[in-house]
A = this chain, B = another copy of it.
Amino acid sequence: MKYPEPISKLIDSYMMLPGIGRKTATRMAFFTLGMDKDQVDEFAKNLIAAKTDLKSCKICGNITTDEICSICSDKNRDQSTILVVEQAKDIMSLDDMNGYNGLYHVLGGVLSPVDGIGPEDLNIKLLLNRLKENQNVKELILATNATPEGEATAQYLAKLVKPAGIKVTRLAHGLAVGSDIEYADEMTLKSAVLGRREI
């Protein structure tokens, strides 16, 4: 027996989401049938609103409902530091920890020759213009992921920005807090030893 069209189409939609296979999508679709009509309408409305109402901040590339995001328009933040991330969602993780009060810049990805992503596909020009226009910036913190592509992108940016006399730093790599040495992989251990600090 084939599923009736409305449910098979909904399963297909759920399957587009990351990490969702046919079994989970089917479970979600049947769960949806059991939800209140109001909740389903709200869900559909939220999907369209997220896609329609959100745009990129003209300064940093963060997601926002206005032209300029809440971070860029907050004059109480430290205007001398810009932290560079791959994706807008990384900003949320970093800003939640309360350890950083500066500005951000979203690259929108990483350099990846295999996938055909070069410097012109990322928000790098916007970043360079920002550094040129705002002479207050003293430090650029590169917080791309600790992947080969993230490292390469960080190296590329460092080379571009350093000649302008701006301090360029990279997030520390090492053992995760609370983790066991026994279970750490080789590359992480190597980073932890190379980046050791005096106590």
Interface positions of A (Cβ within 8 A of B)? 1-7, 9-10, 12-13, 16-19, 24, 26-33, 35, 37, 39-51, 53-54, 63-65, 70-71, 87-89, 91-92, 95-96
A29 touches B7 (CB 8 A): no
**A16-B43, A31-B17 known; A50 and B95 CB under 8 Å?**
no
A31 touches which one: B3, B18, B39 (CB < 8 A)?
A: B18
Partner of A10, one of B32, B41, B46, B89: B46
B-side contacts of A70, CB under 8 Å: 1-2, 4
Given A4-B54, A10-B47, A37-B51, 18 other A-B residues pairs in contact with their CB atoms under 8 A: A1-B71, A1-B92, A1-B95, A4-B64, A6-B65, A16-B39, A17-B32, A18-B27, A18-B28, A18-B31, A19-B27, A29-B50, A30-B89, A33-B54, A33-B63, A35-B51, A40-B50, A47-B47
Are A46 and B1 in contact (CB-based, < 8 A)? no
The quantity of this chain's copies bound in the complex is 2
In the bound complex, CA of A28 to CA of B17 (Å): 6
* Given A1-B70, A28-B18, A71-B1, CB of A6 within 8 Å of CB of B53: yes
B31 with A24: CB separation less than 8 A: no
Out of B40, B51, B92, name the residue touching A47 (CB < 8 Å).
B40
